[in-house]
Structure 1
Amino acid sequence: MATPIVQVNRLNQMQGAFDEVERYLCFIGLGGTNKGTLQTVNTDTDLDDVLGAETSLLKTQVQAAKSNAGQNWNACVFVLDGVLTWSEAVDYVMEQTSVEGFVIVDPIAASTDLEAMQTKQGDIMAQYMRPTLFIAAGRQLAPATDTWSAYVAELSALTDGIRADAVSIVPYMWGHELGTYAGRLCDRSVTVADSPMRVATGTLAGTWSDKPLDKDGRAIDRSILKALESVRFSVPWWYPDYEGMYWTDGNLLDVSGGDYQVIENLRVVQKVMRRIYPLAVSRIADRRLNSTPTSIAENQTYFMRPLREMSKSVQILGNTFPGEVKPPQDGDIVISWPSKYAVEIYSVIRPYNCPKSITCNLMLDLANA
């Protein structure tokens, strides 16, 4: 005879919200206060208290990011002490928290620094399963000794022949470009799928009307910005007869023809990566994921969740604000079993078209009707 048994189990269907890492960046640079420490900052933070009252390149970039990110901005800052390297700081930060990317404030000295950043993001992915990106800076224009042609040639050499599809680089000309760019990427009025080039996001915050001059007294113009952008730097931009200062593409150092030449493509894919990872972990040794047609169909829906959530659009007053990606279609999730105990998940991510070159053609109708 058996005694009656009632058992109630609490099951986890992995339907809760994902942690949001996007728009949370870590700034790393030399500072005079709180050296060798990791500090958190947001829109309420007095940067003089955290980063010192004296002017510093680090504080200038963090302030520019704060001004350009707008509402609900938050970040972290690791203050280098002159002994620790940025790479060691990244390792420390990864032990403490997760971030979308790292903003290395102090100018790089050589192309090898860009390669080191690309290698570091790969190391982080291998150790922590955390997708990251890096934003670097080229040195400040020296108006007493630099001509624009020599400055552009020197910076162009940094990116020549470099493949680093998780690294973006910005030149210092006005002196606050790096923080401005990083802040624009963190603006919560737009999504990670939006280019920093987007004019409707608004003008760049900060002082831009005082254009930098080289040693010959030549003011910066758009030909100089175009020359830097053509060698994959991300730079500010302005439009004739259109007030305000804006930005160009968020260029990445991918190869010509690569999928990750612009930062919005990388950020969208990395966001999916962060959300599909815990879904995959929760299915380890779970026989609900098996090779039967029913299981494959159920798990295609299960792993499609990040794409469904990121594809939600909003319509208001006849205007459609699209989601971060197009809605997934049948066949966008493919599940393959190469062996009895190994499964491979393939996902297709479809970003929307984005107009970065607009041509308007006008014609007359002179018919006498």
Structure 2
Amino acid sequence: MALGKITVNALNLNQGPFPTVEKYFLFIGMGLTGTDTLLFLNTDSDLDIELGIADSELKTQVKAAKANAGQNWACCAVPVTDGALWESAFDMAMNNNVKIEAVVICTPVLVQADLTAMHTKAEETNATYGRRLFFIAGAIAIDSTPTTGQNWSAYITALTALTVTLAAMRVSVVPYIYPDAVGIYAGRLCNYQTSVADTPMRVNTGSLVGQDQSTLPVDSAGIIYNNAHAKALNDQRFSVPQFYPDYEGVYWSDGSLLDTATGDYTVIENLRVIDKAARAVRLVLIGLVGDRRFNSSPIGTAWAMSKLMRPLFEMSRSTDFQGIPFPAELKSPVDGDIAITWITRTSVNIFIIARPLDIPKDLTANIVLDLSTIA
């Protein structure tokens, strides 16, 4: 007769929170202090100590990002002596297990190949580490030297050569309309009043911090930057400052990406929201490797579906406070938003739908005059 035996197992159901990298950016640019050193910064950091008392390319952009991001902002940065050689600084950060959402290259790109290299590096990083990220690149400022410099037409034409025909959906390019434009843009993307599903175009969270309409640049003929120039640059897939007549402040255009004209990722919020979902789904998939609870039986399939849909459910939690909507990052999943197909006994294909909410960017109001005498 067998002896009694008792075993107690503590099962791990992998229900912990997903780690987040969103709104944590890596800045790479020229600086004189801490060269080739990985620095970790936040709202408490004294940038004069960390990045040097003197102004530098890197410090200018980090300072603008800090101001525009507001509370809870944090980033990492690598000062370099030659900003064009950013790849070694980026590789150092990756080798040090730094997990980021985006890389900000402060040194202006000069040729289209620079943008291609950034997109290639983003794709290689995903392939090597499973880390999904995008690049923000700066483009050179206008030469406003009277008579001998550029007018706006020549400047826009010169910049167009950077983006024309280029497909690089993980790259967003910001011309230095302001000397700290790249940092302003990065800061707006990292502002904790908003989510990754929000556009940097939003007006409700306020004007650009640190710049105003009086500081808009002029060209060699003295013509001030205006919305016609903003539109021309936006049409060439640049992200730029814009403003509204008779409305105080300066705001931002779309966060344009260099995707193809018909691609799903022509704007930054689409890429950010799908990347956030994909990062979490990847972790769920890793936990399912070799787990026979995930099998082709109805109960095994249903269990796996609930695990895989968890990231989307968490990203779809909205709040309604006194009639004011505070929307989630995604619409709530519905039946049919996930499909699982077993190719063989060990190979499975999974399809998941993520639905972002609408964003008003082109608004038209029609007002009708009622001249009837009926009260």
| TM tier, smaller | over 0.9
Distance, in Å, in 1 between the alignment partners of 2:83 and 2:57 is 17
Correspondence 1:58 to 2:63: no
Distance, in Å, in 2 between the alignment partners of 1:141 and 1:83 is 19
Distance, in Å, in 2 between the alignment partners of 1:207 and 1:327 is 38
TM-score (norm 1): 0.98
Aligned length, in residue pairs: 369
Which digits, 9 at most, give the CA deviation of each residue in 1:134-185, with x for residues without a partner? 0001012221112111111111110000001111000002211100000000
**Aligned pair partner of 1:193 in 194, 197, 213:** 197
Distance, in Å, in 2 between the alignment partners of 1:265 and 1:338 is 30
Structure 2 counterpart of 1:340, one-letter code: R
Equivalent residues in 2 for 1:156-305, closer than 5 Å: 156-208=160-212, 209-305=214-310
Corresponding residue of 2:346: 341
TM-score (norm 2): 0.97
- Give the superposition deviation at 1:131: 0.5
Contact 1:29 1:80 in 2 (8 A): yes
Distance, in Å, in 1 between the alignment partners of 2:298 and 2:336 is 14
Corresponding residue of 2:43: 43
Distance, in Å, in 2 between the alignment partners of 1:46 and 1:323 is 34
**Aligned pair partner of 2:335 in 321, 330, 334:** 330
Which digits, 9 at most, give the CA deviation of each residue in 1:208-249, with x for residues without a partner? 222211111111111111110110000011001111111110
Query: Unmatched 5+ residue regions in structure 2?
Result: none
| Alpha-carbon RMSD | 1.1
Among all aligned residue pairs of Structure 1 and Structure 2, give the percentage whose two residues are the same amino acid.
46
Helix, strand or coil for the counterpart of 2:109?
A: coil
Distance, in Å, in 2 between the alignment partners of 1:219 and 1:9 is 71
Distance, in Å, in 1 between the alignment partners of 2:85 and 2:5 is 61
Distance, in Å, in 2 between the alignment partners of 1:236 and 1:330 is 41
Distance, in Å, in 2 between the alignment partners of 1:348 and 1:173 is 38
Distance 1:239 1:343, change over 3 A: same
Which digits, 9 at most, give the CA deviation of each residue in 1:73-103, with x for residues without a partner? 0000011133982112111111121100100
Contact 1:134 1:166 in 2 (8 A): yes
**Greater CA drift, 139-148 or 169-178:** 139-148
Structure 1 counterpart of 2:136, one-letter code: I
Equivalent residues in 2 for 1:348-363, closer than 5 Å: 348-363=353-368
Distance, in Å, in 2 between the alignment partners of 1:44 and 1:282 is 37
Corresponding residue of 1:309: 314
Structure 2 counterpart of 1:17, one-letter code: P
Distance, in Å, in 2 between the alignment partners of 1:162 and 1:173 is 22
Helix, strand or coil for the counterpart of 2:12?
A: coil
- Give the superposition deviation at 1:54: 1.0
Corresponding residue of 2:34: 34
